[in-house]
């Protein structure tokens, strides 16, 4: 006559009083299900067990999606706060030269980019003393440069914000640091009727900081604020 080995009374009483300890333990439940399948033999199909495995797989995928959504929400919130801080800092200066110097200094640091450069199209010579004083953040180019550079020669309508990876930056924009740039964001600027367009370029040595797959809403907002601030200075 065979007999089955019973578990200790204290463990049995604990399980009976708190069955949720078993139900909430994923590894323990899997072990019990696997043990039950072994006792049934290999010729019996356990439809309930198959259904539970599928539900478990779906739950795992749902949890992964949930975590991804939360992570994306936090990242978007952090990016929004970053742009807001950069805009507030950009609006602090009360004179044009300080405005541009801060753009290449503290504003660039807040946005965590290696360089910010403003490109203005002009038909005049670039020997203006203001341009020389602001050479660390401002450069001038011939008419048509903005569309050719940001559009990369394509005939399609140019987007307000272009994110891309580069082998190296343009010397016209980055000067002697052009060889270090690996990705950039190009923000097209419209200064109003009768004025040539401009380009705000954010350059990074990290090739993954700006890629075409990223969203551009926050940078478009930043570019819109900068564009309006520039219109007041140019007026």
- Give residue-wise pLDDT tens across range 132-170: 777 788 888 889 899 889 887 566 567 889 999 999 888
Looking at residue 154, its pLDDT comes to 66
What is the band of 19 on the pLDDT scale with cuts at 50, 70, 90?
confident
Q: Is residue 20 part of a domain?
A: no
- Rounded Cα distance between 225 and 111, Å, is 15
Q: Is residue 169 part of a domain?
A: yes
Beta-ladder partners of 139: 119
Looking at residue 209, its pLDDT comes to 93
pLDDT digits (tens, 9 = 90+) for 207-222: 999 999 888 999 999 9
pLDDT digits (tens, 9 = 90+) for 73-128: 777 788 889 999 999 999 898 888 899 989 989 999 999 999 999 999 887 765 66
Q: Is residue 28 part of a domain?
A: no
Looking at residue 37, its pLDDT comes to 59
Q: Is residue 56 part of a domain?
A: no
Q: Is residue 156 part of a domain?
A: yes
Q: Is residue 112 part of a domain?
A: yes
> Which among 158, 154, 184 is positioned nearest to 169, based on CA atoms?
184
Beta-ladder partners of 117: 201
Q: Decide if 153 contacts 87 (C-beta within 8 A).
A: no
CATH number, domain with residue 200: 3.30.450.40
Task: Give the predicted TM-score (pTM) of the model.
Answer: 0.68
Instruction: Provide the CB-side half-sphere exposure for 205 (13 A, CA).
Output: 4
Looking at residue 165, its pLDDT comes to 93
Q: In which domain, by residue range, is 137 found?
A: 89-234
Q: Is residue 227 part of a domain?
A: yes
Looking at residue 111, its pLDDT comes to 93
Averaged pLDDT score across all residues of the chain: 82
Q: Quote the DSSP letter at residue 177.
A: G
Q: Decide if 210 contacts 183 (C-beta within 8 A).
A: yes
Tally of structural domains, the chain: 1
Q: Is residue 55 part of a domain?
A: no
């Amino acid at each position: 006559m065979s007999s089955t080995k019973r578990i200790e009374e204290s463990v049995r009483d604990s399980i009976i009083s708190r069955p949720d300890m078993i139900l909430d333990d994923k590894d323990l439940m899997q072990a019990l299900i696997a043990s039950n399948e072994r006792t049934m033999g290999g010729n019996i199909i356990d439809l309930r067990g198959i259904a539970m495995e599928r539900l478990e797989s779906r739950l795992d995928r749902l949890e992964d999606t949930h975590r991804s959504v939360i992570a994306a929400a936090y990242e978007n919130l952090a990016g929004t706060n970053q742009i807001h801080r950069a805009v507030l800092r950009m609006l602090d200066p009360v004179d044009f030269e300080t405005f541009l110097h801060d753009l290449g200094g503290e504003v660039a640091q807040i946005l965590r980019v290696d360089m910010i450069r403003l490109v203005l199209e002009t038909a005049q010579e670039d020997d203006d003393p203001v341009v020389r004083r602001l050479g660390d953040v401002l450069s001038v180019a011939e008419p048509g440069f903005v569309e050719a550079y940001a559009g990369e020669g394509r005939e399609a309508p140019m987007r307000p914000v272009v994110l891309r990876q580069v082998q190296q930056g343009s010397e016209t924009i980055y000067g002697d640091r052009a060889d270090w740039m690996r990705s950039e964001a190009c923000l097209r600027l419209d200064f109003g009727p009768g004025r040539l367009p401009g380009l705000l370029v954010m350059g990074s040595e990290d090739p993954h900081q700006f890629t075409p797959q990223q969203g551009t809403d926050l940078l478009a907002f930043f570019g819109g604020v900068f564009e309006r601030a520039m219109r007041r200075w140019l007026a």
